[in-house]
Chain A
Amino acid sequence: MSQAAIRILIVDDELAIRRALRPPLLELGFQVAEASRGEEALQLLRAGGYDAVLLDINMPGIGGIETLRRIRSFAPRLPVLMLTVRDQEEDKVAALDLGADDYVTKPFSMRELIARIRTAVRRVRAPERAEDAPITIGEIHLDPVKRVVTKRSEPVHLTRKEFDILHCLMSRAGRVVTYAKLLTAVWGADCREEVEYLRTFVRQLRKKIEDDASAPIYLLTDVYVGYRFADAQSFQDEPTEALPGEIG
């Protein structure tokens, strides 16, 4: 994948943040444009030519959520990453449900941000994967047709719902799946509020697929938002969670 081709639009009302993001992104081969308002971003995006959008959730004017809604009306597949702060869980969920690809929480590390951008762009560029194609992430292998899950080639016995949850998460690996989305996908729209129910299932699931259920590396929790299955990429070249600033 050629990085030079990735054109990013940064939408944030804070100049300091745009100034901090621009040099490393440029240095790493991205093309960068900036907008300080949702309205301005919409104008730029309508003209086209962007591969990803970093969208601040909390801006004056129409704000991040409304900007996202309008972006989705004309660019349903354009990768959009929301820039949020910790205590805006409801906004995060709202943005994800409106079709945001992912979010990062301020203050985020550049490594995390770039990884998220790449994942989102890769997903869009990758050829449409068949819904029932087998998935392998790390040591976990899932075959949707045979409904079989193996870990280090050992079969893992899952209940029907556990399998559905795992399938749902693994087919969206690297992306957060909100509680409501997961509940709707597995149990139907009537159950979208039953988060506690879901937690119990995920707990069982972790006991079966994780080496240490209290320190999961596959089935990760995005506190207050949902679950995320670790990105296949993270098991290939780097350790799961490189500490920021550690690489020379």
Chain B
Amino acid sequence: MASSYISGRHLWGSRVRLTRGIRAVLFALESALGVLAVLLLASLTHWTGWLLPVAFLLYLMIVVPTALWCGFWQALIVSLSAVLVHGIVISRQPEMKLASDPVNSITFLAFVLVSLLVSRLSARVTENARQAEHRGEQMRDLYEFTRRTLQLNLHVEPGAQLADLIHDIFGLEAVAVFDADLHRVYQAGYWTQDPLELAQNVYYFETNDDDLESGLGRRVVRLGAAPVGSLVVRGETGPLTNNAIASLIAMTFDRYRAFANESRIETERRTEQLRATVLDSLAHAYKTPLTAIRAASTGLAEMGKLSPGQAELVGLIDEQTAVLNELTTRLLTTARLDGGEVKIKAQPVSVGTLLEEVLASLRDRLAAMKVALELADDEMIMSCERQLIVMLLTQYIDNACKYSIYGTTITVRAERGKAETILSVHSFGPVIPMADRERIFDRYYRSATLANRAPGTGIGLSVAKRVALLHGGYVWVTSDEQEGTTFYASIPDERQKGIGE
């Protein structure tokens, strides 16, 4: 792939960078050719004789092209030879003894002036053409570089690929690219000094210059205003080209980060989905054995004829089956909530009936507890998906049951905020340390403090958080010795778009 593009620079550059020896040979050759032409013309004028009066004009026809194509000094040699040869030819013509020194000198001077003029003009045109071609080349190289950076394989770090590309496409002697984010230097070509230090210095001291002496170009690679790396090149490039290359490197770095981020998120999403699927099928697979065990144990009890000890054990089996079933159900719930896209179907829900339903469903659990229900307004309506909010409150109340001090009251409260409904569950129990107050809503997080330990899986509160987020709301907790612990959930009236998705 790297060799598919052959830079024009290589062909063109070879003509520019001729060695001194070849240049001298070329100079001699051009001069010799000119002199040869002069001699031929002189022989012609001598032989014909009638061309002699216009001989100078004819010489001029040799001098001008020489000046045009070869240069001033070649033209000067040709002019000198023309004047000398003409002098000799004239002196051999007996009938024409007009030639005198002043005439020759003036002719020579005219030749020199014409040569100078023509060669200068020619040189300028040539230089302009050369620069235009050079710019064209650079544009083409930049275009190629842009195209190739867009095709870069972003699954791997882009630095090494970029250094190679720059080296190949712009025909440079050496290239070093520094990626500040990964803190790595990538090099291509031959460096006499340490490119690592060179590139890092450019980054840290923010040097942007083009040193004509050493042929070094230094650029800080910036994304917006922030430096993200650096570029050092040695070889023939223009300052503008270096700027463009630096910008392209910045864009490529940015694309790489975005790509890496995206694939990381995608991977996480897939893992999450897989986990949810596994949980779901596991939980379902548990249901059948659980059903068989419970039917068997309760069947034994129904059949009677059990001794008190047997009845006790059968009761234990049944009780523990219930615990296992509760865990399985909870896993299923979490898996459901996490697996893929949960769409909220918010409807106006009467808060009073909702709270009562939750309490009724937790009746067994709450049998030994004192529970108070505080409803700011009996007719209160909130906009939510009923089933999910039931889940959230169930988690909060369940949590309060686990941690509250025996004999204290658990208060379930619903209040109206400005454009939100605030549900809360208050209880007295161990204070939740400041450091834990955010994290207890994370999945599988369980307080390290032994005092805050209770049987559980560490899933419940994360479900509550997820439910609130799905509604565009949020959760928080306050906790201190005097006031007790309160878990809150704010559910906005109108679901804010884009939050929690």
Contact = CB atoms under 8 A, between A and B. Distances in A.
A233 interface: no
Contacts of B363: 215
Contacts of B390: 223
Size bin of chain B's contact surface: 35 or more
Interface in A6-26: 14, 16-17, 19-21, 23-25
B29 interface: no
Nearest to A16: B292
Interface of B: 284, 287-304, 306, 308, 311, 314-315, 317-319, 321, 325, 329, 332, 336, 347-350, 352-353, 356-357, 359-361, 363, 371, 373, 386-387, 390
A122 interface: no
A223 B295 contact: no
A196 B295 contact: no
A32 B318 CA distance: 24
B298 A245 contact: yes
B388 to A, nearest CB: 12
Contact of A215 (B288, B296, B306, B360): B360
Contact of B290 (A87, A107, A221): A107
B332 A87 contact: yes
Nearest to A24: B299
A70 interface: no
B350 A14 contact: no
A214 B359 contact: yes
5 contacts: A14-B292, A21-B299, A106-B287, A108-B295, A110-B295
A200 interface: yes
A237 interface: no
A86 B329 contact: yes
Contact of B350 (A23, A113, A199): A199
A111 interface: yes
A214 B410 CA distance: 14
Nearest to B313: A245
Contact of A109 (B298, B350, B373): B298
Contacts of B329: 86
Given A85-B287, A221-B360, A196 B348 contact: yes
A213 interface: yes
Contacts of B336: 87
Interface string A197-228: 00110110010000001111000010110000
A196 B350 CA distance: 7
A16 B360 contact: no
A248 interface: yes
Contact of A20 (B299, B314, B353, B386): B299
A109 B322 CA distance: 10
B302 A114 contact: yes
A130 interface: no
Contact of B356 (A25, A109, A203): A203
B356 A213 contact: yes
Nearest to B373: A214
A14 B295 CA distance: 13
Interface string A49-63: 000000000000000
Contacts of B352: 200, 203
A38 B304 CA distance: 33
B380 to A, nearest CB: 11
Nearest to B412: A214
A159 B459 CA distance: 44
Contacts of A199: 350, 353, 357
B292 A247 contact: no
A200 B353 contact: yes
A145 interface: no
A213 B375 CA distance: 14
Given A24-B299, A224-B387, A248 B292 contact: no
A48 interface: no
A239 interface: no
B320 to A, nearest CB: 11
Given A28-B303, A248-B311, 10 more contacts: A17-B295, A21-B299, A87-B336, A106-B287, A107-B294, A107-B321, A111-B298, A199-B357, A202-B353, A244-B294
Contacts of A245: 297-298, 301, 311, 314-315, 317-319
Contact of B293 (A21, A107, A214, A221): A107
A187 to B, nearest CB: 17
A173 B58 CA distance: 131
Contact of A17 (B292, B300, B325, B361): B292
B15 to A, nearest CB: 80
B245 to A, nearest CB: 59
Contacts of A85: 284, 287
A107 B306 CA distance: 22
A27 interface: yes
A54 B329 CA distance: 23
A4 B476 CA distance: 59
A2 B289 CA distance: 32
